[in-house]
């Protein structure tokens, strides 16, 4: 099972979502920013590294707010969603097709990766 982290980054009553680029698995789907946890990393360290690499920002990382196990056809992941806020840098989509802050009530307008979709109701209750 692959350990994966995602960030719940808020801006007022909106949260950051990112669109997966073409030619990647689940291309065009929306997700919460993050990625794979490398050997020896904590969840927080992995999330900070991934967001530095993918969004050019430094994060302050908080607690895990939700987690799930999801079996995609090509892999099974344990996905943890952590509270986070941008400490430094400007959000820049270095690997995603698009990034947006959206209100949770607009989630139905976006096609989310199935694992991320499992967090939508939890996020609506938090924001």
Q: Residue 12: what pLDDT?
A: 94
> In which region does residue 116 sit, left (phi positive, over 0), alpha (psi from -120 to 50) or beta (all else)?
alpha
Contact criterion met (CB below 8 Å) for 95 and 53: yes
- In the predicted model, residues of the chain with pLDDT beneath 50 are none
- Number of structural domains (the chain) is 1
Neighbours of 14 (CB within 10 A): 15
CATH number, domain at 6? 3.90.79.10
Q: Residue 27: what pLDDT?
A: 84
Q: Residue 126: what pLDDT?
A: 87
Domain range spanning residue 6? 2-126
CA–CA gap between residue 79 and residue 35 (Å, rounded): 9
Span 23-37, pLDDT tens digits: 887 889 999 999 999
Q: How far is residue 72 from each of residues 6, 17, 27, 38, 104, measured CA to CA in Å?
A: 17, 20, 14, 20, 24
- Of 80, 68, 78, 123, whose CA–CA distance to 101 is shortest? 123
Beta-bridged to residue 80, according to DSSP, are 5, 67
Q: Residue 23: what pLDDT?
A: 81
């Amino acid at each position: 099972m692959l350990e994966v982290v995602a960030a719940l980054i808020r801006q007022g009553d909106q949260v950051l979502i990112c669109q997966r680029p073409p030619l990647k698995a689940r291309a065009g789907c929306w997700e919460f920013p993050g990625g794979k946890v490398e050997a020896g990393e904590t969840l927080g360290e992995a999330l900070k590294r991934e967001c530095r690499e993918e969004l050019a920002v430094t994060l302050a990382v908080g607690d895990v707010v939700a987690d799930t196990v999801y079996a995609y056809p090509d892999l099974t992941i344990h996905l943890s969603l952590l509270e986070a806020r941008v400490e430094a840098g400007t959000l820049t989509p270095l690997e995603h097709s698009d990034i947006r802050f959206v209100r949770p009530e607009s989630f139905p307008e976006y096609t989310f990766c199935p694992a991320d979709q499992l967090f939508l109701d939890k996020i609506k209750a938090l924001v």
